[in-house]
Copies of this chain bind each other. A is one copy, B any other.
Amino acid sequence: MDVPGYFAERAPLVDAQLDAILPQVSTPPESLHAAMRHLVFPGGKRLRPALAFATAEALGRPPERVLPVAAAVELVHTYSLIHDDLPCMDDDDERRGQPTVHRQFDEATAVLAGDALQALAFEALALPTEAAPSAVLASVRDLAGAIGAAGLVGGQVDDLAFAQDVGGAKDARQQRVESIHRRKSARLIAAAMSCAARFAGGDDRRVDNLCQAGLEMGVAFQIADDWLDRDEDEGCSLVHVLGSDAARERANVLLQSALARVEELGDAAESLRALMRFAVHRTV
């Protein structure tokens, strides 16, 4: 499958949804609205929305069916990047070749733009739709759980506290790194897939299976990032703990397990499997 072609075809869907629900820069408070849009457009590859779309297609539904999910996960992803970049956290001046939100605007605006994007994510997810209200409500719980203290935020806390020179056995260090990757990256990826499965009418077993596949693939995706950044000296990285070869092998094991979970969906899941392979193999 042509993965870049899939991104190119599906990204406009979520971009139109995001543009429709984000407040216009021409209405007050203009600075807040501009800050909310700053990192959303032009944005990245829209990997998380693409995974949501491909999950819908794997379950025999059109991608439009999961637009609320696609928009919500992209809004959460953006909010988390804005807050991670803050001076009190990673203190980054640039992202994707542009000034970070707190550099382009100011720190208060960056905190508040992130806060508003999180609220908008839940509003986007809960928009009236043809999906069953109980399925949407379960998705709200999935997303909230994935991005709260037990998920994205908790992972970021542990990532900030992570010191590469921590002692202990290699096994324990590997588990610590993977626990951070799982919470900080994989849970949102898994939520993109599990919420999309719910919107597409999947039953609990299927939703859980896709969630587990997303968790494994999400950790593998993050290990691929570690490998890309392998020349950096510090930070939470499985390449530093295991070495380059063993880390790549671990990513492959996780990816194969994730792909095996999706196998039962047959040909309809071809795009989903291709995206999962791409997310890990782009680099490893």
Contacts and interface: CB of A to CB of B under 8 A. Distances in A.
Contacts of A246: none
A126 B145 CA distance: 11
Contact of A149 (B116, B140, B141, B145): B116
Contacts of A28: 158
Interface string A67-87: 000000000000000010010
Number of identical monomers bound together in the oligomeric complex: 2
A133 interface: yes
Interface string A119-142: 110110111000011101100110
Nearest to A132: B133
A166 interface: no
A265 interface: no
Interface size grouping (class) on chain A: 35 or more
Interface string A82-113: 01001011000000000000000011110110
Contacts of A120: 144, 148-149
Interface of A: 23, 28-29, 31-33, 36, 83, 86, 88-89, 106-109, 111-112, 114-116, 118-120, 122-123, 125-127, 132-134, 136-137, 140-141, 143-145, 147-150, 153-154, 156-158, 160-161
The 7 closest A-B pairs by CB, nearest first: A123-B144, A119-B148, A88-B107, A133-B133, A116-B153, A126-B140, A116-B149
Given A133-B134, A137-B137, 11 more contacts: A31-B157, A31-B161, A32-B154, A83-B112, A86-B111, A88-B107, A115-B153, A116-B154, A119-B148, A126-B144, A137-B140
